[in-house]
């Protein structure tokens, strides 16, 4: 079984850092979710992901498999040439980009179109923070937020929420008084010239609630950050099982919920939800390529234990540097192939069914879900 010819639809990734910001950025920090100095300068190099990645990046760039040699070779290439090599080797058909991560320091989404067809995912917390700056009253904010969700622009194919990072996935019915109070507090910060940060649970929950309502009106999927991430996250509240009240809500039955990052380490929990709720989907990003070889194989196997093939989506969650796009695509194909070959040996699938499953996970499921035509 050969998956190298299947062009990938990467259903969740982030914009590349601008070269001037990339220069100020420690290269190894792109290989860890930690940001403590000791992690970035020392411990990350002790991970299996880092060790494996250095060898593979060196092979792609034609240099010695040492960090210093890779950095030297990168310096000799233009930014565009480096991106072109990584993206060509990755073989993308389309990439859905959440451009709300480090928005002041990244290349515009349209810029990436020269390497692969890109679409936008609208990060709703970033949108809300921007609109708090611009809205003098609650009423103005509420109207602006609704209008932005209803008319997000033709390139937007889905919404993305990082509520798991901010106040957790145990989302409650927002109390109108508490929501307004949270808005007033953040608005006063904005008036004082501070950048408002959406970390007040009533308002965060309200933002997700309104997003789901807009998603229901327009048939747009909503991507939820679930599972592991950087230490800004309280992992206890990133378990997708907390989403049950929203998944059961009659108004949201037609909204596709996409659980990102294999919800790792809550992978089986996510797989269960996707198996029993028709509108829940799971995704492999970040788990591939950040885990060890056996860790990546585990998440694919864990989903295939119980989750329908039609509910499994592929992404790289690549961010900051182009090498992560290459590594995500390379390991996505390789791990999927290994696991699917084993399903044939086990007698779960025929060869033809396994080949179809690979196409579905790498491409077709996302094309269908986001109506990519
Ligand atoms: Zn992401």
Residue 6 in any domain: the answer is no
In order, the DSSP letters of 267-311 are: HHHHHHHHHH-TTEEEE-EEHHHHS-HHHHHHHHHHHHHHS-GGG
| Distance of CA 98 from the midpoint of ligand 1 (Å) | 7
CB 243 within 8 A of CB 171: yes
Neighbour-count burial of 73, counting CB atoms closer than 10 A to its CB (0-12 exposed, 13-18 middle, 19+ buried): middle
Q: In the chain, how long is the greatest CA-to-CA distance? A: 65
| Distance of CA 136 from the midpoint of ligand 1 (Å) | 31
Protein residues with C-beta less than 5 angstroms from the ion ligand 1: 317
Q: CA 153 from chain center: how many Å?
A: 20
Residue 182 in any domain: the answer is yes
| Distance of CA 348 from the midpoint of ligand 1 (Å) | 32
Handedness of CA 27, 32, 35, 38 (dihedral sign): negative
Q: What average pLDDT does this structure show over 72-92?
A: 96
Q: What average pLDDT does this structure show over 248-259?
A: 98
- CA distances 332 to 61, 268, 315, Å, are 20, 19, 8
| Distance of CA 317 from the midpoint of ligand 1 (Å) | 5
| Distance of CA 171 from the midpoint of ligand 1 (Å) | 20
Please say if the pLDDT value at position 24 is more than 90.
no
Give the Cβ contact number of residue 94 at 10 Å: 19
CB 197 within 8 A of CB 129: yes
User: Minimum mean pLDDT among 28-42, 134-148, 192-206, 246-260: which range?
Assistant: 28-42
Q: What average pLDDT does this structure show over 217-223?
A: 97
Quickly state the pLDDT bin for 22 (edges 50, 70, 90).
confident
The more confidently predicted of residues 25 and 111 is 111
Please say if the pLDDT value at position 139 is more than 90.
yes
Read off the DSSP letter of residue 18.
Answer: P
| Distance of CA 161 from the midpoint of ligand 1 (Å) | 10
Q: How far apart are CA 190 and CA 132, in angstroms?
A: 7
Residue 159 in any domain: the answer is yes
Residue 204 in any domain: the answer is yes
Q: How far apart are CA 36 and CA 212, in angstroms?
A: 35
At 25 the pLDDT is: 86
| Distance of CA 278 from the midpoint of ligand 1 (Å) | 24
| Distance of CA 203 from the midpoint of ligand 1 (Å) | 22
At 23 the pLDDT is: 82
Residue 5 in any domain: the answer is no
Please say if the pLDDT value at position 373 is more than 90.
no
- Cis peptide leading into 265, omega within 30 of 0? yes
Residue 281 in any domain: the answer is yes
Give the Cβ contact number of residue 100 at 10 Å: 21
| Distance of CA 240 from the midpoint of ligand 1 (Å) | 16
| Distance of CA 29 from the midpoint of ligand 1 (Å) | 15
Residue 192 in any domain: the answer is yes
Phi and psi angles of residue 285, each rounded to the nearest 5 degrees, phi first = -60, 155
Closest CA to 359 of 88, 91, 8: 8
Task: State the total domains in the chain.
Answer: 1
Residue 3 in any domain: the answer is no
| Distance of CA 350 from the midpoint of ligand 1 (Å) | 34
Q: CA 44 from chain center: how many Å?
A: 21
Domain with residue 94: its CATH number is 3.20.20.140
State the pTM of this model: 0.97
Give the domain range for residue 233. 12-369
| Distance of CA 96 from the midpoint of ligand 1 (Å) | 10
In order, the DSSP letters of 352-367 are: HHHHHHHHIIIIIHHH
| Distance of CA 373 from the midpoint of ligand 1 (Å) | 24
Give the Cβ contact number of residue 330 at 10 Å: 21
| Distance of CA 124 from the midpoint of ligand 1 (Å) | 13
pLDDT tens-digit profile of 274-310? 999 999 999 999 999 999 999 999 999 999 999 999 9
């Amino acid at each position: 079984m050969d998956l190298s010819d299947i062009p990938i639809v990467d259903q969740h990734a982030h914009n590349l850092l601008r070269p001037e910001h990339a220069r100020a950025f420690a290269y190894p920090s792109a290989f860890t979710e930690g940001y403590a100095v000791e992690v970035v300068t020392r411990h990350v190099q002790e991970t299996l992901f880092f060790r494996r990645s250095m060898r593979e990046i060196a092979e792609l760039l034609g240099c010695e498999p040492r960090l210093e040699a890779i950095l030297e070779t990168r310096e000799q290439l233009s930014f565009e040439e480096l991106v072109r090599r990584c993206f060509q080797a990755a073989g993308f058909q389309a990439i859905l980009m959440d451009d709300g991560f480090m928005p002041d320091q990244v290349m515009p989404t349209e810029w990436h179109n020269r390497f692969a067809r890109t679409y936008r995912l609208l990060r709703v917390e970033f949108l809300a923070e921007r609109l708090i700056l611009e809205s003098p009253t609650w009423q103005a904010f509420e109207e602006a937020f609704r209008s932005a969700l209803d008319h997000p622009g033709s390139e937007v194919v889905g919404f993305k929420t990082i509520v798991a990072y901010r106040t957790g996935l145990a989302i409650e019915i927002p109390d109108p008084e508490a929501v307004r109070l949270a808005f007033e507090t953040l608005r006063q910060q904005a008036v004082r010239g501070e950048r408002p940060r959406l970390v007040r649970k009533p308002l965060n929950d309200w933002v997700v609630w309104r997003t789901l309502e807009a998603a229901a009106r327009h048939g747009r999927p909503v991507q939820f950050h679930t599972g592991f991430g950087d230490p800004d996250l309280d992992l206890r509240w990133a378990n997708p099982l907390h989403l049950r009240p929203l998944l059961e809500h009659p108004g949201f039955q037609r909204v596709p919920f996409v659980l990102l990052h294999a919800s790792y380490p809550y992978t089986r929990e996510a797989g269960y939800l996707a198996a029993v709720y028709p509108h829940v989907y799971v995704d492999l990003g970040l788990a591939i390529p950040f885990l060890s070889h056996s860790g990546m194989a585990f998440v694919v196997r864990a989903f295939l234990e119980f989750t329908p093939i039609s509910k499994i989506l592929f992404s790289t969650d690549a961010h900051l540097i182009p090498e992560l796009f290459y590594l995500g695509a390379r390991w996505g194909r390789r791990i999927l192939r290994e696991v699917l070959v084993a399903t044939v040996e086990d007698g779960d699938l025929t060869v033809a069914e396994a080949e179809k499953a690979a196409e579905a996970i790498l491409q077709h499921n996302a094309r269908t879900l986001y109506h990519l035509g």
